[in-house]
Amino acid sequence: MQQRQNNALSWQLMEDDRFFTTPDDFSRWAEGRKQLRLEYFYREQRKRTGLLMEGDTPVGGQWNYDHDNREPIKAALSFPALPQHGQDSVTKEALHDAAHYFDDHMGSMETFNLPVTRRQALVDLHHFIEHGLADFGRYQDAISDSAPFLYHSRLSAAMNIGLLSPVEVCEAAEAHYHAGKAPINAVEGFIRQILGWREYVRGLYWTQMPGYKQKNQLGFTRELPAFYWDADTDMRCLQRAIQMTIDNSYANHIQRLMVTGNFALLCGIKPEALCDWYLAVYADASEWVELPNTLGMVLHADGGLMGSKPYCASGKYIDKMSDHCQHCRYSPKEITGPKACPFNSLYWHFLETNAEQLNRNPRMKLIYGSLSRMKEEKREAIRQQAEQFLAKLPTSEGYGQPAHTQGYSHQETRS
């Protein structure tokens, strides 16, 4: 806490209690480190808070259970229905005003069901702990064609605006583990998102800004495709992720990273256009969390400060983790030709175009090995397929984007 006195008024700057750590804590941890990897930061926070710890050792013997958390969804799964929140006169009036003044904005209010009071946020927290947490881990990376929320908590907006504290959310999850009601891979995976990722991206943001926002390591210049604003695309995975965003102002992490994000990476969308979109469309949007995720994780624009390699993937990954492709007019197995999944040729095109910057990365060695073994004829066919696709991609400069979000200027508000 800082105390100041000037001629007129004395004032105090309080630390923000919506987080476990302060930006100064992060700075101290980051000092002298060449790489700022999440895993080491997270372990330190586990030790500091004692969450999921037995003395100095992690509960269950491991820090991280990620390898158990990669199951795709199965047809027979049923997902917990959400609690339905009533709307008082204030909420009704706010929804009415939003419809009136922002009627050209992307999004629908018909299904509005976000918690707007502390009581509603607690209902959502308890509902998730009881009905979602146990399966959160193994289906954490899954994507569904029909279910937007799966076993995710949907608590980000409530935590970001202070209706819930991250401490109470993590303690509720830990208590559920100790009561024997959720497995360690689920509880550790969930706590890592909050005690690890959420704190880490905030620390990174405040230690790297304002320069961070200017980063564009791969030199991307393309405008955002127009369909990001209205979901009018025949690529099923993108259509569903964007339509779910329109309906709920929500998409889960993998939809943001591996569907809308991955497509933007493969097409070379310029960072400010993509950031504007993520900031405009999600209920939980805040620049301190959005920017590192978009620049660092999605676009590899910070040159590897956050992620040791770009999260680029072909249609094969989306086919493995989701049930989208069976509903799509494209085939994830084809790379060229009229039925070929656009992600496939774009993937190889991305690797080829950015080879100078990426092919010395040890984690990309295998994939660049496959590219170099590919016959030149095949490479040329893929190149043409991708370039024809990109040439036809309708971009959103002036299209579809509501006037008041055009050139959305990122505000550096400390939160």
Binding site for ligand SF4 (CB under 6 A): 235-237, 315, 318-319, 324-325, 328, 330, 332, 341-343
Site string for ligand FAD, 90-109 (x = CB under 6 A): --------------------
Preceding omega of 210 cis (within 30 degrees of 0) = yes
Q: Which does 319 bind (CB under 5 to 8 A by kind): ligand FAD, ligand SF4, none?
A: ligand SF4
Q: Which of residues 192-231 bind ligand FAD (CB under 6 A)?
A: 193-194, 197-198, 201
CB closer to ligand SF4 out of 215 and 236: 236
Q: Which stretch binds ligand FAD (CB under 6 A): 40-48, 290-298, 331-339, 406-414?
A: 290-298
Which tokens hold the place of 397? 């400069």
Q: Which stretch binds ligand FAD (CB under 6 A): 17-25, 65-73, 251-259, 395-403?
A: 251-259
Q: Which does 153 bind (CB under 5 to 8 A by kind): ligand FAD, ligand SF4, none?
A: ligand FAD
Among 124, 174, 290, 319, binds ligand FAD (CB under 6 A): 290
Which tokens hold the place of 293? 């995720």
CB closer to ligand SF4 out of 203 and 315: 315
Alpha-carbon distance of 342 to 389, in angstroms, equals 7
CB closer to ligand SF4 out of 88 and 387: 387
Paired strand residues for 143: 322
Contact 281, 157 (CB under 8 A): no
Among 36, 73, 147, 155, binds ligand FAD (CB under 6 A): 155
Which tokens hold the place of 319? 């086919």
Alpha-carbon distance of 260 to 250, in angstroms, equals 13
Least gap, CB of 371 to ligand FAD (angstroms): 26
Q: Which stretches of 154-285 are assigned E, i.e. beta strand?
A: none
Least gap, CB of 59 to ligand SF4 (angstroms): 37
Contact 4, 10 (CB under 8 A): yes
Chain centroid to CA 134: how far? Answer: 21
Contact 19, 202 (CB under 8 A): yes
Among 46, 85, 138, 152, binds ligand FAD (CB under 6 A): 152
Least gap, CB of 283 to ligand FAD (angstroms): 9
Question: What is the full DSSP assignment across 33-98?
Answer: -S---HHHHHHHHHHHH-TTEETTEEGGG-S--GGGS-PPP-TT--PPPPPPPP--HHHHHHHHHH
Least gap, CB of 342 to ligand SF4 (angstroms): 6
Least gap, CB of 269 to ligand SF4 (angstroms): 17
User: What backbone torsions phi and psi does residue 401 show, to the nearest 5 degrees?
Assistant: -80, 125
Question: CA nearest 371: which of 321, 320, 297, 314?
Answer: 314
* Sites of contact with ligand FAD (CB under 6 A): 152-156, 159-160, 193-194, 197-198, 201, 252-253, 256-257, 261, 278, 282, 284-286, 289-290, 293-294, 297-298
